[in-house]
Amino acid sequence: MLNSIRESPLYRIANPRSVVFFGASNNISAMGTNLLMSLQSAGFEGPIYPVHPREKEVLGLKTHERVLDLPEVPDLAVIVLPTGIVNKTVEECGRKGIRRAVVVSGGFREVGPEGAALEEDLKGIAKRHGIRLLGPNCLGVANPHHHLNTTFIPHEGPGGFIGLASQSGSFVTQLFDYLSRLGLGFSTAFSVGNEADMDLVDCMEYLSACPHTRVIALYIEGIRRGRAFMEAARKITPRKPMVALYVGGSDTGKRAGFSHTGAMAGPDELYSGVFRQSGVIRARSVTELFDFCWVLGGLPRPEGPGVIIQTHSGGPGAAAADSCGRAGLKLPPLSEDTVEALREFVPHTGSLNNPVDLTFSKNPDDFYSNIPRILIREKNAHVLLVYFLTPSQVVKRALGQMGLPHDQVEEQALKYADHQCESIKDLLRTENKPIVGYTFRSLEEPAIKGLIDRGIPVFSGPERAARAIAAIVEYAGCVHRVLNLQR
């Protein structure tokens, strides 16, 4: 384990003070140009030196003809050149004294024996010069906390708490917007490509030491260093949760992964065993990968698998109960104290079982404050799962009918949503038990977005919510198991 993040060979890749960039031009359909544009639009604060044999200026930046001409030794080289001139360029970087590189270019081991030979050459050159590199055939790194983004798509949304190490560059760059819509973001995300030098395990160690990272996500097509992976994961997981998506386990996934980065996949059950023994939570889809990160990084740990469901509709309640059961969670009955306390808030058509079903509630405030405050204190339960439905058009309709002038309806409806969301946030803060929501409304709806912005995960549908709760319950259990294994 690292004593400090600065000991990681990835430190100056994720936190360079200066970057030399190969392969950008003024041709906007070139890959390299797009990557440099992303770097610029991330607001990178250090100098960027494009190297170009002919252009005097690229995207407004002064170029140099050769890396050897640069006025300083940059911390990091980003290489987006045609395959044939990559190795020569790395050689020149080495002679300049550069010690960290991201090789974006493809055409290496993933295309067959000829490419594999090129990759061996690349490794030899790097080793001779003491260069540590990410790639080839990768997209490098996005570290929003350092205003760094070497990938294809401009970074959207603020930095967050998810550290990602990925054998797919797409999952680094193409999910910025996806995460941002969930109020999430990467702390640092690495695309490892062919892992000629540094691999998933190096990234895990970096992210384990990274203070911005609260949960580590892995996208895996095949693990190269099995023993090192398990050793690292066992040390990390008791302190920081890890979630892995492994796509090489089915025949179809294995073939696709092999032609993608040349990684050899193993049987599904083998990977399940590896994950289980090292405390890594396994996700079965990309959606789950980030759903699990959401709850694991954002919520307190539950003390058991008991869930209380709060709903004002029987159907969504029954669907959530079914989902919880299928995900291995428990729905404990309410204790007498809870039933007694709830009585004044629940009409005779409602249900004081679990799910707690309010049916129609005359005072919507109860749903956001009085009732969840009672439920979260239920001693038999460890997680509160709430069905959220406050369609803004219903709120606006009510405000309009109450005689509020037309031009104030919008603003008042937003204030009302804010007030409700704030109540739930207060509960999460003071009670220190996980609260999770589900809905069928758009996550952009003010009363939902307000919750998400305040750190309450709200899932589209009860199934995703139940699976995410099961993940956080499993993690709490894993921590005990891994700690026991180590004793």
Please report, as residue ranges, which positions from 405 to 464 form the binding site for its own copies (by CB under 8 A): 440-442, 460-464
| Minimum CB distance to its own copies smaller for 56 or for 362 | 362
Query: Residue 4, interface with its own copies (CB under 8 A)?
Result: no
Strand intervals (E) in 389-464 = 435-439, 458-460
Query: Residue 353, interface with its own copies (CB under 8 A)?
Result: yes
Query: Residue 373, interface with its own copies (CB under 8 A)?
Result: no
**Minimum CB distance to its own copies, residue 390 (Å):** 11
**Minimum CB distance to its own copies, residue 405 (Å):** 16
DSSP state of 144: G
Looking at residues 221 to 240 of the shown chain, list those that interact with its own copies (rule: CB under 8 A): 221
How many Å from the N-terminal Cα to the C-terminal Cα in the chain? 18
Looking at residues 35 to 54 of the shown chain, list those that interact with its own copies (rule: CB under 8 A): 37, 41
Query: Residue 34, interface with its own copies (CB under 8 A)?
Result: yes
Query: Residue 140, interface with its own copies (CB under 8 A)?
Result: no
Query: What are the CA-CA distances from residue 122 to residues 84, 105, 132, 199 (Å)?
Result: 11, 12, 11, 15
CB 39 within 8 A of CB 273: no
Query: Residue 324, interface with its own copies (CB under 8 A)?
Result: yes
Query: Residue 270, interface with its own copies (CB under 8 A)?
Result: no
Candidate residues 119, 205, 357, 474; the one interacting with its own copies per rule CB under 8 A:
357
CA 81, 83, 84, 90 torsion-angle sign: positive
Angle ∠(179,183,187) on CA atoms, nearest 5: 65
**Minimum CB distance to its own copies, residue 479 (Å):** 26
User: Which residue carries 């996949």 as its tokens?
Assistant: 265
| Minimum CB distance to its own copies smaller for 51 or for 139 | 139
Residue 43 backbone phi and psi in degrees, to 5: 80, 30
Looking at residues 100 to 119 of the shown chain, list those that interact with its own copies (rule: CB under 8 A): 106-107, 110-111
| Minimum CB distance to its own copies smaller for 161 or for 219 | 219
Angle ∠(352,353,358) on CA atoms, nearest 5: 45
Query: Residue 21, interface with its own copies (CB under 8 A)?
Result: no
| Binding segment toward its own copies, per CB under 8 A, in 13-21, 29-37, 44-52, 207-215 | 29-37
Candidate residues 21, 49, 171, 206; the one interacting with its own copies per rule CB under 8 A:
171
**Minimum CB distance to its own copies, residue 31 (Å):** 5
| Minimum CB distance to its own copies smaller for 84 or for 130 | 84
User: Which residue carries 């803004």 as its tokens?
Assistant: 392
Query: Residue 248, interface with its own copies (CB under 8 A)?
Result: yes
Number of residues that bind its own copies (CB under 8 A): 89
As to burial, measured by CB atoms within 10 angstroms (0-12 exposed, 13-18 middle, 19+ buried), residue 138 is buried
CA distance 199 to 434: 34
Phi-psi region of 86 (alpha: psi -120 to 50; beta: other; left: phi over 0): alpha
CA distance 303 to 382: 6
Query: Residue 17, interface with its own copies (CB under 8 A)?
Result: no
Q: Collapsing DSSP states into helix, strand and coil, what is residue 48?
A: strand
Candidate residues 78, 90, 98, 175; the one interacting with its own copies per rule CB under 8 A:
175
CB 54 within 8 A of CB 70: no
Query: Residue 165, interface with its own copies (CB under 8 A)?
Result: no
Query: Residue 31, interface with its own copies (CB under 8 A)?
Result: yes
| Minimum CB distance to its own copies smaller for 361 or for 423 | 361
Name every residue whose Cβ is closer than 8 Å to that of residue 291 and which is 6 or more positions away in sequence. Answer: 283, 457, 459, 464, 467, 468, 471
Candidate residues 79, 86, 153, 210; the one interacting with its own copies per rule CB under 8 A:
153
Query: Residue 181, interface with its own copies (CB under 8 A)?
Result: yes
**Minimum CB distance to its own copies, residue 6 (Å):** 30
CA distance 237 to 231: 10
Candidate residues 9, 46, 97, 314; the one interacting with its own copies per rule CB under 8 A:
314
